[in-house]
Amino acid sequence: MSKIAIITDSNSGIKLTEQNEDLYVLPMPFIINGEEYFEEISLSQEDFYKKLAENADISTSQPSPFQVKEMWENALKTHDEVVYIPMSSGLSESCHNAIEFSKEYPNVTVVDNQRISVTQKDSVYEALKMAHDGYSAAEIKDYLENTKLDSSIYITVNTLKYLKKGGRITPAVALIGTILNIKPILQIHGEKLDSFAKALNMSQAKQKMINAVKKDFETVLKEYYENGEMQIDIAHTNNEEEAMKFKAEIEKAFPKSKVKFVDPLSLSVSCHIGPGALAIATTRVTKK
């Protein structure tokens, strides 16, 4: 049986301190006011939100080819194969680039299952379990890519400022939305971050997200939900207290599903939506 290393990036929300002999995390770079920072190394969650509040110019970046290949090569010193699970190809070019790099490495398999944040984290831990259970790298890739759409994230933002700043809404729409206290609800399903609905306040937004998940569990994900295969996670942007309250509401609404993670959203998503956001993520998990 091959010894397989699972490598992901910090967009998964897995901390560097959670690495182990079979799990590696590549810190993602950010450009802030022209300087490069690396998540969890020179950029903490606290530093990120402080700079965001100061209206710093923040943009996401991607690891250099050297950084990616160096981590693969280090893992291959002690493992026969590497399964690399980067953030969604629909949200970054880093996945496409990794696929190109892997052509030089016959023992590296890149997975494009279009996940980010807590759903990416779920994929990583499923891959790790499969590796320990004797599945091959090819089997892990096939499973994760074949189940990529059995997952979704609904996000409500607390402010329209950052969507406006990123050009995702016009200044006029942002002004009207701010005056009316409108809370847009976004969805990440598959490749894209898209508009899903609007709410008049945070309480209504949370209920709309719960209703959206209920509809998923009654339709496209019904079989998996009834089989107890759907896991729910909560994510937030610098809003842990409200996230814990949301967790209690969700557990009451979905007695057949456990809430596993309550995590900060990936900083690569956070820089586009700002602080105070709440999200509910659903993922099919079968490799328990």
Helical H runs in the chain? 45-53, 65-76, 94-101, 117-132, 137-146, 161-165, 171-179, 202-218, 222-226, 240-253, 267-273
CA 114, 118, 124, 126 torsion-angle sign? negative
Which residue's structure tokens are 């993670």? 261
| Burial (CB count within 10 angstroms: exposed 0-12, middle 13-18, buried 19+), residue 182 | middle
- What distance in Å separates the CA atoms of residue 8 and residue 14, rounded to the nearest whole number? 8
Over range 87-116, report the average pLDDT: 90
CB proximity list for 128: less than 8 A, separation 6 or greater: 6, 22, 23
Tokens, residue 162: 């950052």
- The second-level CATH assignment, the architecture, of 151-284 is 2-Layer Sandwich (3.30)
Mean pLDDT across 20-42: 93
Rounded Cα distance, 197 and 173, in Å: 15
Task: With a cut of 90, say whether residue 130 has pLDDT above it.
Answer: yes
pLDDT band at 285 (very low <50, low <70, confident <90, very high): confident
Which helix (H) or strand (E) element contains residue 261? strand 259-264
The answer to whether the Cα torsion of 176, 181, 187, 188 is positive or negative is: positive
| Reported pTM | 0.88
pLDDT digits (tens, 9 = 90+) for 245-267: 999 999 999 988 878 999 998 88
pLDDT tens digits, 203-227: 999 999 999 999 999 999 999 998 8
Fold of 4-28+63-146: Rossmann fold (3.40.50)
Query: Would you kindly state where each structural domain of the chain is located, as residue ranges?
Result: 4-28+63-146, 151-284
Instruction: Find out whether 47 and 267 touch, Cβ atoms under 8 Å.
Output: no
pLDDT for 281: 94
Which two three-digit tokens encode residue 144? 């994760």
d(CA 30, CA 54): 16
Torsional class of 46: left (φ above 0), alpha (ψ -120 to 50), beta (otherwise): alpha
**pLDDT 10s digits, 185-209:** 888 887 777 778 888 889 999 999 9
